Chain A
Amino acid sequence: MKCQHCEKTATFHITELTDPNGPTILHLCEEHARTFFNQDGPPDPASALTNMLAKQLKLEKAADDLAAADKKQCPMCGITFAEFRKGGRLGCPYDYVAFEEDLEPLLVNIHGATSHSGKVPKNLNGSPERQFRLKQLKDEMREAITKEQYEVAGKLRDKIAAIENGQNEIGQNENGQSDESNEEAPNDGPPDDDFQSFS
């Protein structure tokens, strides 16, 4: 890809999120990137620029890597990384998991940090991983119903209920006590097994 301002190869791919009208994407060569970062810059551009470029270099990789990242898709909401870069808005909380490695340099760039150290809610059931697991189980349950595998569907329903009631998947509730009825059973197990687990 060429620089937007000259014929040189664009080595800097910058997504600006500060514009109130939405993100701007710039493809610049090193020289024009330098000019870009220098505008409105602090009076001591040398150190600030080096700092910024170092961050930016980590963020913006070679064009090939970028193209690969752009194709990544969130299994939860279906948004691609390219769509995120274009619109500047993520599709669902699970994007932070699906695009973790691509978002991290961006977070460093914006916040100078990659981990939270503030308020923590009492209710910690809102993790995207948990939501994704629930979605997977619900999809499996729907498929089982379509295939008229009602026993399988019933087990999945119980598993979903257990997660929704605050138990984790190895069958432990919040007190760490084992819960026999929540044990993992293979979906394609013989019908007898399914029947037994219900009795």
Chain B
Amino acid sequence: MRGDGPESDIVMSSRIRLARNLAEFPFVRKCSDKDRIAIAAAVRRAIDALPLSSDTEYVDVAKLGDLDRQFLMERQLISHELSETEGARAVILDPQERFSIMVNEEDHLRLQVMQSGLDLTSAWKRMNELDDLLESKLTYAFTKKLGYLTACPTNVGTGLRVSVMLHLPALVATKQIDKVFRAFNKINVAVRGLFGEGSQFMGDLYQVSNQMTLGKSEETLMQRVSEVIPRLIDYERKAREFLINEKRDDLNDGISRALGILKTAKKISSEETMHYLSKVRMGVNLGLIDNVRIPTVNKLFIHTQPAHLQKLCGQKLSVSARNTERANYLQQHLSDSVDPKAN
């Protein structure tokens, strides 16, 4: 989340994933320990033989400690499932974090391509190339009728999940978010809170993704998601306009208080941090806060999460110690900013 890319005041990132399975093995739930090891080895051989950047890293997730696994999870490079299951499993990481490949998650392979802002076309181009490369070394389970075969029938066909992460604080503040959810679910596009179902306490971040994977081409599925994004952006902008025009004092007050708490708190939880960072982010985008830049806010969203914070301190910390450390970290990074513009 570098904070650039088209519509980056609202669109945080675009992400595409493909589910793939190797034809010679059962799906993960029926894999023996030997199978899992053999799958990981086959993928590693394939990766080594491909013209990928020499810094591409193969990480044996089973050998990682709790903190490292959580760290990768917070960066969305691995899933909760890959982090927590037992047995041989791995992740292949691009040094620039433009892609990751999970091995032995729900499917043998979960390829993931990330892009800052809204840019599904170039994300798909890179994904398609990565998939072609892997396919040149591995035999995927595939039939002409059903496409790529996956462990769960909800992913069969293209195995494609396109998701766009949006920051929608004004739709939350104006209590329109539920209405938007319902409208979009009706057209087979899922909208859900980033962490936890429909939770607004997690930084007002929402993920929009396709529900179907079979019967439509990758391009069509992507188009269906990207078609609704401008509408969501438009709703969010209208809600922001409404807040600015009709509730300017309340809006300014809320944003000032949020920044005040982040700058002065002595102990603060990660949920509370996300909640206030979200308001600050909107404040910066609306020009109500000077001297705080969007990339800083985006960075704070990630760096104040538990594993990141502990990595930054270089040691494991208790929840209480983390809350103190988080408050320190926020102060350091927000100290140069001035109060929201007086009205």
Verify B157–A42 contact, CB threshold 8 A.
no
Q: State the CA gap A107–B25 with chains docked (Å).
A: 23
Query: Which B residues are in CB contact (< 8 Å) with A130?
Result: 23
Contact of A113 (CB < 8 Å), options: B23, B131, B151, B214: B214
Most B C-beta atoms less than 10 A away, residue of A77, A110, A122: A110
Of A40, A88, A118, the residue contacting B160 (CB under 8 A) is A118
One of B144, B156, B211, B212 near A96 (C-beta < 8 A): B156
Contacts of A112 in B (CB 8 A): 212, 215
| Number of chain B interface residues as a range | 35 or more
Q: Tell yes or no: B24 within 8 A of A by CB.
A: yes
In the bound assembly, the distance between CA atoms of A45 and B289 in angstroms comes to 45
CB-CB contacts of B141-161 with A at 8 A, as 1s and 0s? 111111111011110111010
Asked if A168 lies at the interface with its beta carbon under 8 angstroms from chain B, I say no
Q: Does A91 reach chain B (CB closer than 8 Å)? A: yes
Chain A residues with Cβ under 8 A from B25's Cβ? 92
Task: Closest A residue to B157 by CB, please name it.
Answer: A116
| B contacts with A: majority SS | loop
**Cross-interface CB contact of B212 among A20, A78, A110, cutoff 8 Å:** A110
Which chain B residues (204-232) contact chain A, with CB distance < 8 Å?
211-218, 221
B153 touches A90 (CB 8 A): yes
Report Cα–Cα, A110/B188, bound state, in Å: 10
Q: How far is the CB of A39 from chain B (nearest CB, A)?
A: 11
- B182 interface residue (CB < 8 Å to A): yes
Known: A111-B214, A112-B215. A118 touches B23 (CB 8 A): no
> Is A93 a contact of B27 with CB atoms below 8 Å?
yes
Interface: B83 (CB within 8 A): no
A40 to B197, CA, bound (A): 14
Tell me whether B27 and A90 are in contact (CB under 8 A): yes
Q: With a CB–CB cut-off of 8 A, which chain B residues contact A96?
A: 143, 146, 149, 156
Say yes or no for A127: interface residue by CB 8 A criterion: yes
Judging by beta carbons under 8 Å apart, are B135 and A122 in contact? yes
In the complex, are the beta carbons of B23 and A125 less than 8 A apart?
yes
The total of chain A residues at the interface (CB under 8 A) is 43
Cβ of B34 within 8 Å of any chain A Cβ, yes or no, is: no
Q: Mark B74-118, 1 if CB is under 8 A from A, else 0.
A: 000000000000000000000000000000001000000000000
Q: Which residue of A lies closest to B131 (CB)?
A: A119
Q: Which listed residue (A40, A78, A118) contacts B216, Cβ 8 A? A: A118
Min CB distance B198 to A, Å, is: 11
Q: Report whether A117 and B217 are in contact in the complex, using a CB–CB cutoff of 8 Å.
A: yes
Confirm or deny: A186 has a beta carbon within 8 angstroms of a beta carbon on chain B: no
Name B18's closest neighbour in chain A (CB-CB).
A119
A159 to B27, CA, bound (A): 26
How distant is the Cα of A110 from the Cα of B146 in the complex, in angstroms?
14
Q: Which of A48, A103, A116, A120 gathers the greatest number of chain B CB atoms within 10 Å?
A: A116
Report whether B142 and A79 are in contact in the complex, using a CB–CB cutoff of 8 Å: no
- Name the A residues within 8 Å of B5 (CB-CB): none
Given the known interface contacts A42-B186, A92-B30, the answer about A103 and B135 at a Cβ–Cβ threshold of 8 Å is no
For the complex with contacts A118-B217, A126-B23, A126-B140, 14 further pairs of A-B residues with Cβ separation under 8 Å are A17-B153, A42-B185, A91-B30, A93-B21, A93-B27, A96-B149, A113-B214, A116-B144, A116-B145, A116-B148, A116-B158, A125-B139, A126-B141, A128-B149
A residues at B contact (CB < 8 Å): 17, 20, 40, 42-43, 48, 76-79, 87-93, 96, 103, 106-107, 110-131
